[in-house]
Structure 1
Amino acid sequence: MTGVKAAVTFVVYRGTAPKNWDEIVCGLGGSIYHSTIWAEYQKKRKEGQPIFLLGFDNNGLPCAGALALLKMSPYLIVSRLSCSLVLSTHPFTRDYDRNLSVAFMRKCEDYARSLGCIHMAIDSFLAGGSAYFPCDFGYRETRRLEFCVDLYASKEELWRNISRDQRERIRRLSREGVATEIGMERKDLKDLEVAREFTQAKRSQQGMGYDLPTSGEFYDAIYEYLIKRGVARLFLAKRGREILGAILFAAFNGRASSIFSGSTEFGYKLGVQSGLFWAAVESFKKEGFLELNRGGILESAANETDPLHGIYRFKQRLGTRPVVCRSGERILSPLRYRLLGFGSRILRPYL
């Protein structure tokens, strides 16, 4: 543990979270992406070494914090050229204070430099309420839209906000014999895997393919670190034993956020994602959650000519409101970055 004297006292905990970390996260409005469970999940997936960053005010009270992942090669020489510090999402701060966010981020950048990082990044999951705009501080910014529903509205109002065509799809599902359920066992994740694989194949045919982890270890980690520990819900749509679609939500501190989803060919035809969304709205509202987030997409999808505009329109028709979330990347050492680019062909197998 190290401390840095400043207007915000900055304290670093490498590897192990400080006592009551999750209580601090929840008290200051943080999300699953700041939690100890998410840190352990990312470590299991070998996404980096978790580092917990915490800021204290002049009274010694926590006022800001972030979960960071240190990404570096296992090869010493290469790691000194290429290590990066990545914040899992925007810092949580007391009262969403912009000045506090700026001061805390500067401390994060100073810490990254002290580690010898060449690069720093900040992700934007559930960061729609953040007052920190990376582009104002030298970051190359990417904007995403996340689609949110405020669950404090009445069930009747939430239903009315869904477009008429989507409401009819939801009603039709029961007539077609489709039922939704929550999967809590490891075997249920096989259904998610099947649905995701079909969706990935469909997108690839449309020229919008993406990488999809297929190893059993990937789904083992989801079960052991998220579902089994009560911070994820897997919603499944089936007709009999046939899987038609699935959505996995992270659920933490009153906010539910979809992480993975997919549908089979017949599931697409029936529109089961609409039914799964409504099932999640009903379930999380009943549990007292305040917000449901149906996931994100690049901001460019709002343009009618964008290949992903159909997904944008679908999520809007569910009665959601699009919220801008800003991620960013910044080069901390331009000279070493140029050297890395020059030698990338040689070093790539070791990065």
Structure 2
Amino acid sequence: MQLKVDRSAGAEWAQLIERFDGNIYHSQEWVETWRSDYAEPLYFRGLDEQGRCIGIALANERHSSRPVIGRFLRRLDFETFPAVQANDPDLARTMMGRMVEFARAGGYRGLTLQSHYSAVPLSNLDHLGLVATQRIEFIVDLTRSEEERWKQLSTHHQRKIKKASKHGLVFEETSSVEAMQELRRLQIGSRDRRVERGEYFGLQAEAYYEQMGRRYFERNLGRLFLMRYEGRPVSAAFVSMYAGRALYVLGGSEPKGFELDAPALLFWKVLSRCVELGCREFNFGGVPAS
């Protein structure tokens, strides 16, 4: 396999994503949610002996903001594995090897390969010099009926949803940048709850939430869902959407929200809304296997 690397996607990139069952993290739209003076996209194509494209990957080339030397302090971050012909694991592994070789030859100081939403299960990557960390993703099949989805829930979560339904909670969908600050406030509540349990919870600055919301909303890539109690948001979930797939990105709840089991009802409502919006699956995101 030969590797072709460009700083622009080219007219056929969207068709390649569809052909190889790619996801939002291969898309040009997603690039525009993070592109900056210190973060630029690199588009990778894997070519066979006849020069035909058989796989694609998208990297975020990051570099330091330090004057002069910053341009030499670069790293490559891939949010998802390559999307390849027939979801062939061997082909994906070969392409990843070429990507590692590219990073080494280019003098990059680091490389990260995430597996978000990847359709290709991979193992045995030690020979590439990569340190693997296992993670698990939870995906709900939205093509199933609501009754089938309900039966798949544990009795514990069914009770939570029924209890929350009795508290007069109001479900709301918004694409308001201002509402992103409510999300941050609710994330603070979730952070405090997890810190009390001895867990780590990172929190971004206020400007980050506004910028992320604006960039996702402008490109119709995401929506913010709220659960209100007596007019006040008590639970929130920010969800990205692309090509029939929904992905939980960020969320949070304040103590009153947890008391009312608002998060359980919120996500139950979100699943139904995603069905209405034409989504085939909902990804709750990944967690470490440990």
TM-score (norm 1): 0.76
Does residue 32 (structure 1) correspond to residue 5 (structure 2)? The answer is no
* Alpha-carbon offset, residue 249 of structure 1: 0.9
1:251 maps to a residue whose letter is M
Q: 1:293 aligns with which of 236, 261, 283?
A: 283
Q: Distance in 2 between matches of 1:252 and 1:78?
A: 33
2:5 maps to a residue whose letter is V
* Alpha-carbon offset, residue 197 of structure 1: 1.2
Does residue 90 (structure 1) correspond to residue 81 (structure 2)? The answer is yes
Q: Distance in 1 between matches of 2:200 and 2:96?
A: 34
The question of whether the paired residues in 2 share the 8 Å contact of 1:101 and 1:131 is answered with no
With 101-110 and 133-142 compared, the bigger mean Cα shift is at: 133-142
2:232 maps to a residue whose letter is E
Does residue 246 (structure 1) correspond to residue 239 (structure 2)? The answer is no
Task: Say which SS state the counterpart of residue 117 (structure 2) adopts.
Answer: coil
Q: Distance in 2 between matches of 1:172 and 1:199?
A: 21
The question of whether the paired residues in 2 share the 8 Å contact of 1:234 and 1:246 is answered with yes
Q: For 1:157-172, list aligned pairs within 5 A.
A: 157-172=148-163
> What is the number of equivalent residue pairs in this alignment?
288
The question of whether the paired residues in 1 share the 8 Å contact of 2:97 and 2:128 is answered with no
Q: Distance in 2 between matches of 1:271 and 1:283?
A: 19
Q: 1:276 aligns with which of 266, 269, 272?
A: 266
Does residue 258 (structure 1) correspond to residue 248 (structure 2)? The answer is yes
Partner residue of 2:3? 10
Deviations 1:179-229, CA, capped at 9 Å, x for gaps? 21111111221221111111112212222133211222x122222221221
Q: Give the aligned CA root-mean-square deviation in angstroms.
A: 2.0
Q: Distance in 2 between matches of 1:246 and 1:137?
A: 40
The question of whether the paired residues in 2 share the 8 Å contact of 1:70 and 1:86 is answered with yes
Relative CO higher for 1 or 2, CA cutoff 8 Å, sep ≥ 6? 1
Task: Say which SS state the counterpart of residue 132 (structure 2) adopts.
Answer: strand
Partner residue of 2:193? 202
Q: 1:142 aligns with which of 124, 133, 147?
A: 133
Task: Say which SS state the counterpart of residue 164 (structure 2) adopts.
Answer: helix
The question of whether the paired residues in 2 share the 8 Å contact of 1:93 and 1:100 is answered with yes
Change in 2 beyond 3 A, CA 1:136/1:171: farther
Task: Say which SS state the counterpart of residue 34 (structure 2) adopts.
Answer: helix
TM-score (norm 2): 0.91
Unaligned runs of 5+ in 2: none
Task: Say which SS state the counterpart of residue 183 (structure 2) adopts.
Answer: helix
The question of whether the paired residues in 2 share the 8 Å contact of 1:30 and 1:253 is answered with no
Q: Distance in 1 between matches of 2:279 and 2:48?
A: 30
* Alpha-carbon offset, residue 60 of structure 1: 4.7
Partner residue of 1:120? 111
Change in 2 beyond 3 A, CA 1:47/1:152: farther
Q: Distance in 1 between matches of 2:167 and 2:70?
A: 57
The question of whether the paired residues in 2 share the 8 Å contact of 1:201 and 1:209 is answered with no
Q: 1:224 aligns with which of 198, 210, 214?
A: 214
Task: Say which SS state the counterpart of residue 180 (structure 1) adopts.
Answer: strand
Change in 2 beyond 3 A, CA 1:195/1:34: same
Q: 1:182 aligns with which of 169, 173, 180?
A: 173
Partner residue of 1:154? 145
Task: Say which SS state the counterpart of residue 142 (structure 1) adopts.
Answer: coil
2:13 maps to a residue whose letter is W
Q: Distance in 2 between matches of 1:185 and 1:103?
A: 43
% identical equivalent positions: 26
The question of whether the paired residues in 2 share the 8 Å contact of 1:52 and 1:67 is answered with yes
* Alpha-carbon offset, residue 77 of structure 1: 4.4
Structure showing the higher helix proportion among its residues: 1
The question of whether the paired residues in 2 share the 8 Å contact of 1:37 and 1:225 is answered with no
* Alpha-carbon offset, residue 263 of structure 1: 0.5
* Alpha-carbon offset, residue 243 of structure 1: 0.8
